[in-house]
Amino acid sequence: MSNALEQASLIMVPSGYEDGRLGSLKPLDGSGDFTFARCNGAAQCDLAATRVNADGYIEKGYENLLLQSNSFTTSPWTSNTNETSGQAGYDGSNDAWKLSAISGNSSRIIQTFSISGLITVSIYAKSAEWDYVGLYTAGSNKGVVWSLIDGTPQNPIVAYPDIYGNGESIGNGWWRFSITHNAIAGEYRIYPCEQNIYNGNNPDGVKGIYIQDAMLNQGMVAYPYLETTTAPVAGGILEDMPRLDYSNGSCPSLLLEPSRTNLVTNSEYGFVTGNTSIDYNNAISPEGYQNAFKSTATTTSGVFTRVADISGGVTNPLVSVFVKYGNNPWLNIIYSGSADTYFNFNCQTGEFGTSVGSLTSNLKAEDYGNGWWRVSARFNYSGAGSLRVYMASSGTTGFANGSTTIGNYFYGYGFQLEQDATYPTSYIPTYGVSQTRLGEGRVNRLSSPITFGAGEDFTLFFDGEFNNPIFSEMIMGGRTTSISYWWIQNYQSGKITSHLGNEMANWTYMNLSINTRYKMLVKRDSNVIKFFLNGVALTTNQSAGVSDPFTFQSLGYGFNDIGSYSFSGKLNQALVFPTALSDEACIELTTIS
């Protein structure tokens, strides 16, 4: 297809991107780049969107919520220590600080924070004359004194965090220490310690420790450090960043989804146990970080992990969870409230059991690699209930069996409950309250629209997939004074229509399946419209009006470009040609090899 591609006016293959922009491979001057919007200024929208990145891991958005994160003498930091800048740092810079005690137990640097919920605070530290550093969050009253010799938490441990503490050797005597817990607004404190308690015996304003790069982020782990000055700084998936998703392998596709809410308020921690013990941050999760939990049976029956209680009730909850085999293959996943809302899943083989509740539908298992499965189902039930995962003895057990062997275990991560949905969307992390990921809206407009006059030939090409079984639309084109676009509408299960322009007669039915890649093409050739699908020329109706002017200026979804119906799926490639390709070239271009 090299000759045909040389003729293209626009080649959009998801590759180059930044916050608010999706790059095109052609034209090279940037006029073919699309503006992109999802958040439109919504607070913390970047924390709700995720994707599968090029390394195969789920990538989140995260923020360093501390200000002046490596400027410890600048407001809002306050202190009762001496701070000396220009010290040799862990990263080869001279950006570290020496922190020296001047008043015993009260020697510390402090910054207040207002966020509540699951947080992780961290600091890089190294021994100087003293060999201990204290991390503490006042308000929550959680803290740890760490050894700068071997990275271990010390005795006595003052108010050890209720979830997790970690010391990681960085090299050359440097450590990164972090504590994770369910916090309330308060103070982030760093103490230089002579002994393994929060004090500075014999303070002289000189002896102390080295520190660098403080951070406070939401979540179960300390994410890669982000430098801040007067405002928080975000990393990972940013607010209006196109989500280039690599879940299908090395070639990314643009992930487009409608707005969804995860009603599970604590998606990764804070679960209620039933005859089990939970060890948080025990294993590497689908994120690539050690923030998956291990659930272990302590008796032989009634063994469950309760994730969420929905006291007000929910309509048709769509439940999804990441699970990994430990030594108990079968899991019984339920939405308690009805004895018919359950299913069995084998997290060792990826199979569903033969016993499924009558109010359960749309079972789906997705392989996320490294032994992880994302399993989901819709429970056709409305009312109050709780999401629970029982260990089961087989795939034929019924509702809430929970029969297993003492010591059996499985791994879990990332629970999600979406209201009245028929299919699961990408993971939405939550840290104490429900979170809503806003829809992608429209992959907005070209800076230089491509316009075809009345009767001028052109070819449009779409390569991607639909995830929503009904009422979903993908639009390639735009509007001027009248309707003028290529409209791919999934208006009923199993039927997708494709039509061009203002005339509904210029359409064809295509029998398509969800979660399946398709290559579609439409061309106008001397006022004749032709459609192609997966290497086959389709029969079309033709009528007057096919010679109307056509302006290609946007990619997006929704009736009349305003989103009455939402598109959910993946866009692998979009092409615009200022000519009618030959039938042979159209067949070659749409053939999936």
Query: Could you read off the pLDDT of 385-401 as tens digits, one per residue?
Result: 889 999 999 999 888 87
- What does the pLDDT look like over 373-389, one tens digit per residue? 999 999 999 888 889 99
Distance CA 300, CA 257 (A): 42
Let me know if residue 381 belongs to a domain: yes
72 in any annotated domain: no
56 in any annotated domain: no
> Domain check: are 459 and 585 in the same one?
yes
Secondary structure of 268-295 in the HEC alphabet?
CCCCEEECEEEEEEEECCCCCCCCEEEE
Query: Residue 381 belongs to what domain range?
Result: 260-437
At residue 482, the pLDDT reads 47
Same domain for 421 and 445, yes or no, is no
Same domain, 200 and 338: no
- Contacting residues for 235 by C-beta, under 8 A, at least 6 apart: 61, 62, 63, 64, 223, 224, 226
Last residue of a domain, one of 383, 413, 437: 437
Q: Find the CATH number of the domain harbouring 506.
A: 2.60.120.200
Cβ atoms within 10 Å of 112's Cβ, excluding its own: 13
Burial level of 92, CB count in 10 A (0-12/13-18/19+)? exposed
- pLDDT reading at 503 higher than 50: no
Same-domain status, 158 and 295: no
Return d(Cα 488, Cα 559) in angstroms, integer. Answer: 10
What is the tens place of the pLDDT at every residue in 244-297? Answer: 999 887 889 988 888 899 999 999 998 988 999 999 999 999 999 999 999 999
Burial level of 356, CB count in 10 A (0-12/13-18/19+)? middle
- Quick one: 274 and 421 in the same domain? yes
- Residues 286, 379, single domain; the answer is yes
> pLDDT over 70 for what percent of the chain?
86
Residue 561 has pLDDT above 50, yes or no: no
Assess if residue 49 is contained within a domain. Answer: no
pLDDT grade, residue 483 (50/70/90)? very low
Examine the pLDDT at 40 and tell me if it is beyond 70: no
Give the number of domains in the chain: 3
Residue ending a domain, choose from 437, 459, 479 = 437
Contacts of 134 (CB under 8 A, 6+ apart): 108, 143, 144, 145, 146, 158, 189, 190, 191, 192, 193, 198
Residue 311: both structure tokens together? 């006291």
